[in-house]
Structure 1
């Protein structure tokens, strides 16, 4: 394959439903998107200007392809599992964006904890463990309640909170089963559980200058799991704490070597007022938070601006206004999914920014072991002049959406 001279070729590593908005944004900018995915049925492969089925962890082949196609930048996508590949390509081609070294630190939870602790940032007690015996020993040493999570991974898979030994032993087999989904599946991280209010943060680092774009409050499921199912903006956290979050994240980004990329972070504001970084990564947020929620609330289009940054063009991440927005996951009853009613009507209603169902006919929805029935079967995003107004709209229109299931009581 000869090297192409097209100066508008950009690479999207990952082409699933989460990457689709980024592909479409890039195309609207007049860019030619080459999308890669291991799944030949990935929706983005058909939407992109060119879709290629490829092992995303085979960095040698990905780099070779990027060079042959004269790739101008790697698109920012919410897919933590392949962040290292993004960094490798950026380094190899001299592109702006997250580096391989920073990506490795973000995707390895143990290294993240160690780096943040060395930087003097508040961090839970933590320990690495492997099998049943060492995991239990680490939990007992740290003291309950503890959080158990795979050392590698994303999306809260395999993560649970144990408030005592009995709860730990009950959910440990499930954790080990979930851990096997990752290639680096031999290690886990045990952390002390921080009690407090959880928020999500989206920000940008240009060179070494960190700026917050949006802080959003989160709704999470009950223990022993803390799966986020709702995002509410703008935050109701006091301004003084928001400033402290900004300072802590700026320090964390510098310690991790994050620069010229979007930042996704999960923060706990402990009951004592301490700011604890639970997770941080050099990528945009998923579930259309970056692609659709942030633009509605702030007027900033982070995906568009991040692409501009990667291409070396002028950027503007300054908020032009503030509105309220609510993004919550929809839930479905148990059974086999047949059809969804009301979604087209809801799309046309005032205050509805976006609504989507992820279900395919015949798909089975069952009671989840995490206690979240039908968790993340779709989402509804609404906006209003204030957060309260957006919330009222959300509940009003959500009642018009009905999932029809077979064998549902």
Structure 2
């Protein structure tokens, strides 16, 4: 029986663990202790911090694993690269993982290879930021370099707001430096992709539903995303160029883009599948289980990635507008709806939840599909109207 290590046991790793079990694979969930739902589905649980590459590698060697992977998080990607290199496994390399997990290295790779991206400066926390960012124009974005998602990221529209943004970044990072980059005004969108044996298997652009806080936070997605023929070609070419620049191979790829004047600018790219129902978006759109493909490649197999189907679909996170305790939770949608793919609650009545600021504050999600994108999004809006969430 093949053995697979899944890094993390949170809500975005559960489908990966379940898919592996269904494939007859012995599944080892690696995570710090906690009330993580993936523990209940794995064959074995290891309470190891996923950033502790030495401990994870030792456990992987002892168990003679055949593959290691994750979904929806960058936290464990460097550890995955380290294990892959040490054991000769299929998947992202340590060199590529380091680039994917440090936005400075990522930006340097883009600059060296002609990948379109925003102007930026690397700044140490003990440096004079105003001196360092001369030549950049407001609005700016202050970013930590060692985390995905929206933690430690703030849009800054004027100099008087810069220090607060830096303090916010410092509270979320393990590094002694951060990035300040120009905010590109344009249409924000994303793409999912997969690279195997040096060849990009697909690039699927998708639209993003954005929750507007101190910066935009993805709260859902939809596909297809309307691009002109020229814009789609530029998006695909830019994605492929960025993947080569980052030396990504044998892994899922999660892309954040801005479209300005018909040209794609790369915000950042991760060496794993996206969160917020993005793996599900790929599965529905192309008509296969994307989690299984990720697992197969991690095990050294060479699956096909057919792109002849195109099923429009849309998803949104369920969230609360306040901190509190759930006192009511109900899905009043018909069970036999042809357009509803999934309504999922992460919590139950009596659980405490946080006001939505970032993706992990989610309460659940809704996914719909349709014959057209308009049909899928209309079904999503209707489904959300029939979901009751009470928090006090």
TM over 0.5: yes
1:389 is aligned, of 372, 375, 379, to 375
- Whole-angstrom CA distance in 1 between matches of 2:89 and 2:353: 43
SS at match of 1:142: coil
Question: Match for residue 276 of structure 2?
Answer: 287
- Whole-angstrom CA distance in 1 between matches of 2:200 and 2:26: 30
Question: Match for residue 186 of structure 2?
Answer: 196
Question: What is the CA-CA distance between 1:345 and the residue it aligns to?
Answer: 4.1
Question: Match for residue 97 of structure 2?
Answer: 103
**Mapped contact 1:148–1:189 kept (Cα < 8 A):** yes
SS at match of 1:185: coil
**Mapped contact 1:326–1:394 kept (Cα < 8 A):** yes
Question: What is the CA-CA distance between 1:171 and the residue it aligns to?
Answer: 3.7
- Whole-angstrom CA distance in 1 between matches of 2:100 and 2:154: 20
Question: Match for residue 314 of structure 2?
Answer: 326
Deviations 1:278-313 (A, max 9, x none): 1112111112311x2211122133221122223233
Question: Match for residue 3 of structure 1?
Answer: none
Question: What is the CA-CA distance between 1:166 and the residue it aligns to?
Answer: 2.7
Deviations 1:329-355 (A, max 9, x none): 223242522234332645553311112
- Whole-angstrom CA distance in 2 between matches of 1:22 and 1:257: 24
Quote the RMSD (CA, aligned, Å). 2.2
- Whole-angstrom CA distance in 1 between matches of 2:388 and 2:126: 43
**Mapped contact 1:329–1:375 kept (Cα < 8 A):** no
- Whole-angstrom CA distance in 2 between matches of 1:335 and 1:128: 35
Deviations 1:304-330 (A, max 9, x none): 112222323341111231121111122
Question: Match for residue 340 of structure 2?
Answer: 352
**Mapped contact 1:331–1:373 kept (Cα < 8 A):** no
Residue 304 of structure 1 pairs with residue 292 of structure 2: yes
1:20 is aligned, of 2, 14, 26, to 14
The worse-fitting range, judged by mean Cα deviation, of 41-50 and 390-399 is 41-50
- Whole-angstrom CA distance in 2 between matches of 1:138 and 1:350: 55
Question: Match for residue 10 of structure 1?
Answer: 4
Question: Match for residue 156 of structure 1?
Answer: 150
5+ residue gaps, structure 2, are none
Question: What is the CA-CA distance between 1:46 and the residue it aligns to?
Answer: 2.4
SS at match of 2:188: strand
How do residues 23-34 of structure 1 correspond to structure 2 at under 5 angstroms? 23-34=17-28
- Whole-angstrom CA distance in 1 between matches of 2:55 and 2:242: 32
Question: Match for residue 256 of structure 1?
Answer: 246
TM normalised by structure 1 equals 0.89
- Whole-angstrom CA distance in 1 between matches of 2:46 and 2:70: 18
Deviations 1:351-379 (A, max 9, x none): 1111223345241444x6x6x89963322
- Whole-angstrom CA distance in 1 between matches of 2:216 and 2:25: 39
Deviations 1:160-179 (A, max 9, x none): 111111333454433333x2
- Whole-angstrom CA distance in 2 between matches of 1:147 and 1:346: 43
Q: Structure 1 pair 62/132, CA: closer, same or farther in 2 (3 Å)?
A: closer
Q: Structure 1 pair 104/399, CA: closer, same or farther in 2 (3 Å)?
A: same
SS at match of 2:305: coil
